[in-house]
Amino acid sequence: MNLISASEVVKDFSGHRALNHVSMEVPEGSIYGLLGPNGAGKTTLLRIINQITAPDQGSILFEGTPIGQEHRHMIGYLPEERGLYKKMKVGEQALYLAQLKGLSRQEAMKRLKIWFKKFEIETWWDKKVEELSKGMAQKVQFITTVLHEPRLLIFDEPFSGFDPINVNLLKQEILQMKAQGATIIFSTHNMASVEELCDHITLINESEAVLQGEISEVRDRYRANKYLVTFKGNKEQLAKDLDPRFELLGVEENGMGQRATIQIKNEGEGSGDLIRNLVDITEIKAFHEILPGMNDIFIQVVNDTLQKKGS
């Protein structure tokens, strides 16, 4: 079942079309990556889902019904531009924001103590926000976003400004919230995080959704029939004896011997054909397909879109 369904969403700002008939379905209990270059329209879509602004055309459904005020308490939103009150003390502000989300003071205090201990920030309670570093302030805002345990969490560049240790901490918390039933939409430029966390993605470029699907299916769709082969033997001999149906892209040394990158040139050929050829000409130590990473796919799709529009 889809928790969020965006259908043919259009949004214009002063003659600029930020979103052009964008549709997206976010399955309940999933982590959904919203990707795209700067200015593509990602944040605009997140703001529409969070009801900060409204679409000019199209619709957003929450569990099959038009999204409205009754859904606000079911959503937690961490915008890219953080917005804590600098003069307020951290604990006082966290309590205030938690109560705005419907928690009683007693329940908010109970949950905040757990989160502050988990993030090892108990000593920050009486500090003013202006005394915190950017990363410290982002920790506080992350906590205030998730504290009321909403069904939908929206994170816009949640890892920006964090060191690797705290990025890993946030990733583990996001996975834990998913395990507890939350649905998560997040926008990021970190493609490694996309591969690690996301179940599905939508890539927006120049206001349009240009790529969608499950991560595994998207990577499979862009496979290039390249294989990594560790072998024992002479690389010059391998190049000489390799069947013309296959192209040797390069050879490098590794701990097990030599490692060759080979591409199948013809669509009708498969890995079995390559293995049979290799068995006849060398000793194979390891063999596996090279699937494209999301970073490579991101660059390819964006460039392809620009070329199509330019032609």
pLDDT digits (tens, 9 = 90+) for 254-311: 766 789 999 999 878 889 999 999 999 999 999 999 989 999 999 999 988 877 776 5
pLDDT tens-digit profile of 23-34? 999 999 999 999
- pLDDT score recorded for residue 255: 66
**2-220 belongs to CATH 3.40.50.300:** yes
Please tell me the pTM assigned to this model: 0.87
- pLDDT score recorded for residue 269: 85
The mean per-residue pLDDT over the stretch 2-12 comes to 97
The mean per-residue pLDDT over the stretch 81-92 comes to 85
End-to-end alpha carbon distance in the chain: 40
Report the run of H or E that residue 99 belongs to, with start and end: helix 90-100
pLDDT tens-digit profile of 217-248? 999 999 889 999 999 888 888 999 999 999 99
Percent of the chain with pLDDT over 70: 98
Residue 117 has pLDDT above 90, yes or no: yes
- pLDDT score recorded for residue 82: 66
Provide the H-helix boundaries in 119-188.
Answer: 134-146, 164-179
**In the chain, ranges of CATH 3.30.70.260 domains:** 224-290
* Least confident window among 51-60, 133-142, 238-247: 133-142
- pLDDT score recorded for residue 307: 75
**Average per-residue pLDDT in the chain?**
91
**In the chain, ranges of CATH 3.40.50.300 domains:** 2-220
Number of neighbours of residue 32 by Cβ within 10 angstroms: 22
Domain 224-290: CATH architecture, name and number where available: 2-Layer Sandwich (3.30)
Q: Rounded to whole angstroms, how far apart are CA atoms 55 and 69?
A: 15
Q: Rounded to whole angstroms, how far apart are CA atoms 294 and 36?
A: 12
